[in-house]
Amino acid sequence: MRKLLLMIVTITVFGSGIVSAHHSNAIFDLEKLVLLRGTVISFTNLNPHAWISVNASADGGSEIARWDVESTAPQMLAAMGISPQTLSAGDSVTIGIRPMHDGRNGGSMVFLITPDGIPHGADPAALGLDLENLKP
C-alpha cells in the first residue's frame, strides 16, 4: 500500500510538469497580433494540434511567404465550427496569430476567417478589429 501511494504521489508531482510543459505558449509572443492574408497550402486536422499552412502577407505587407500556424486540437476546432472539410488548398483566408518570438514565419492561431467571411475562434471585434475589413 505504501509503495502504491508513493507511486501515485510521484506520478502526480512529476507527471504534471510534463503536461504543463507541453501546453506552454512560451515560444509565442502573446503581446503581438499579426494578421495573415493569403491562400491555404494545407490543413492538417490531427491531434494534438491542427496546423494550417498558408502563403500569405503579414500585416498588410506586399511580401508573400509561407506561414505555418498551430491551432488547437481537432475537437476544439469542431466546437468552433471548423471541420476537416472547412479548408481546402487554394482557399483565401485571414488568420490572426500570436507570432513566434524568434521571428520565424509561424504562430499560434487566435482566429480564422474562412472564405465565406465567417470568423472562428476569438471574436475579432473583441480585439478591436473590424470584421468587414478582415474578410478574405
CB burial readout 96-112, b (16+ within 10 A) else e? bbbbbeeeebbbbbbbb
Q: In this predicted model, what pLDDT tens digit does every residue of 28-85 receive, in sequence order?
A: 888 999 999 999 999 988 888 899 999 999 998 889 999 999 998 889 999 999 999 9
CB burial readout 30-62, b (16+ within 10 A) else e? eeebbbbbbebeebebeeebbebbbebbbeeee
Q: In this predicted model, what pLDDT tens digit does every residue of 109-133 receive, in sequence order?
A: 999 999 999 999 999 999 999 999 9
Stretch 6-23: mean pLDDT: 43
- Respond yes or no on whether the N-terminal peptide bond of residue 99 is cis (omega within 30° of 0): no
Decide if 57 contacts 97 (C-beta within 8 A): no
Structural domains in the chain, CATH included, are: 26-134 (2.40.50.140)
CA–CA dist 54, 17 (Å, integer):
33
Report the run of H or E that residue 74 belongs to, with start and end. helix 74-79
Higher model confidence: residue 4 or residue 88? 88
Decide if 34 contacts 61 (C-beta within 8 A): no
- Give the mean pLDDT of the chain: 84
pTM: 0.81
- Respond yes or no on whether the N-terminal peptide bond of residue 48 is cis (omega within 30° of 0): yes
